[in-house]
Structure 1
């Protein structure tokens, strides 16, 4: 009995080590546009906590209704990360249809394409000359029936708000892409591969931006000239880090690399 248990433990550790090595070694296969990655991660002025330091009560009292926070190591999504590798997603979902939205504040236009077509032809770095209203972005609008086998392996952040449940939105985007400023209900965002830079403002402090311009153009043309009192709350998050944003907070995102990410919207 002890011998059998020892073998099971060994196989479990071997599988975990193999996953860790594969994921860290090749970035899941999503780094083909690495020469277009953005180097400036900017400052980080958001509180960061690890799972051993922040209790649920502290989260509710200090952050849930008042300000963003970054959580590190609260969930082990190694398996989910492995399943989100480029080869794995193409094998499982390449022929499935996905819905793309324009990367502007209101995202009115929707386009349906095969997932393989999106990855091969449309997953590109953001051009400064292209408006957000002309940029197609894969995030949300997921068919939960077709993608259930993937989402069931995701371990969502365990700190929920009272009387809420979580809905997932999954996305993949090229370097320099992102969504300009907008707001909605509270939620979490976790990076699976790549890096994502976040810019946030409280509800009463609406930022100056054009709803059809990209976050990249805002970072280039507006951000450097903001007076100190108008600068955003911001940070860049990496795999294994989860950003929580409260209800009605303005936020914009900028993918510094080709990024895979998932949000949990609370409502």
Structure 2
């Protein structure tokens, strides 16, 4: 969208309008301090703090999906990431990371590294100016900043497998570099072979390698309807709820996103709580490194039942229920209490 819209107009489009397909907003973040970020400038803020990078091959021999459970994880600083990509990248005089860089054994020509899915509130907890540099109020969400956002820093080829998020819609700011998004509407789900393994709460993955689809293995993928978007610095992408997406860095890239809550999330949280309860019960005792994403933790049965109960109460409250016997829904409340015993 080229027209400059007011925060009120954007908010209406996103939350109450008929914007049911992805949209790119241009020219709306020029006054955001975040627009001036680069990997080097953020490295100066984070200094020599150790962070976890996910890595993988840029030209893999296999055309199967590279799951996060199959990636290698390397602890390094953002300075070391910058030096790995550019040995003359500026760094502090006292920094000796050139000689001890954990990324040094890997060649950036055939390996990518991704500092992905990092909550800015944790990463920059002592840097309020960085958190305030993200201003989602310009999109009609007053008070929403970096505190409610995540940051992604990756080299060429860094990518996220195709998936959809079960909660909310998504706003994505491309800060630095270029990123390719391949999006599919919810109606394409049967063509994308959904799976819950590896398991990540709120993420449903596709078994299709979108970058190199195997039509013989997944013939229905030819019936899908991909939307391809290349984001440039300053672009903001709106991802509607339950839209599938595969994301890949076309150059060294920084992006920031924020998931926007929606009223329909209550039912999705209930479904996710049930999936967690059932899946963790089935997989109890098995090798979790093969089926559980590194961002997830195994939780107890009692905790999982508690998640289901909390989600039930949220759905009942949303529907005006005050109890199983006094419910505004015809026929009484369909969401009974559960017992963890």
**TM-score higher than 0.5:** yes
Provide the residue aligned with 2:23 in structure 1: 69
Residue of structure 1 equivalent to 2:187:
204
Describe the shift of the 1:136–1:88 C-alpha distance in structure 2 as closer, same or farther (beyond 3 A): closer
| Correspondent of 2:133 among 127, 135, 153 | 153
Matched, 1:139 2:113: no
Q: Report the Cα distance in structure 1 between the residues aligned to 2:231 and 2:178, rounded to whole angstroms.
A: 6
State the distance in 2 between where 1:161 and 1:204 align: 29
CA distance in 1, matches of 2:179, 2:113: 18
Match of 2:82 among 100, 111, 119: 119
Query: Equivalents in 2 of 1:119, 1:71: separation in Å?
Result: 29
Contact 2:53/2:115 (<8 A) preserved: yes
Paired position in structure 2 for 1:178: 159
Residue in structure 1 matched with residue 319 of structure 2 by the alignment: none
What is aligned with 2:171? 188
**Deviation, structure 1 residue 227:** 7.5
Distance 1:201 1:168 in 2: 23
Q: Deviations over 1:18-56 (max 9, x none)?
A: xxxxxxxxxxxxxxxxxxxxxxxxxxxxxx343249654
Equivalent-residue separation in structure 2 for 1:238 and 1:124 (angstroms):
26
Please report the TM-score for the alignment, with normalisation by the length of structure 1: 0.62
Larger RCO, structure (CA 8 Å, separation 6 or more): 1
Assess if the C-alpha contact under 8 Å between 1:76 and 1:155 holds in 2: no
Across the two proteins, how many residue pairs are aligned to each other?
Answer: 209
CA distance in 1, matches of 2:132, 2:183: 30
Q: TM-score, normalised by structure 2?
A: 0.50
* Structure 1 vs Structure 2 CA RMSD: 4.0
Which range is displaced more, 195-204 or 52-61? 52-61
Against the structure 1 CA distance between its residues 227 and 187, is the aligned structure 2 distance closer, same or farther, given a 3 Å change threshold?
closer
Q: Distance in 2 between matches of 1:107 and 1:182?
A: 12
- In the alignment, structure 1 segments of 5+ residues that lack a partner are 1-47
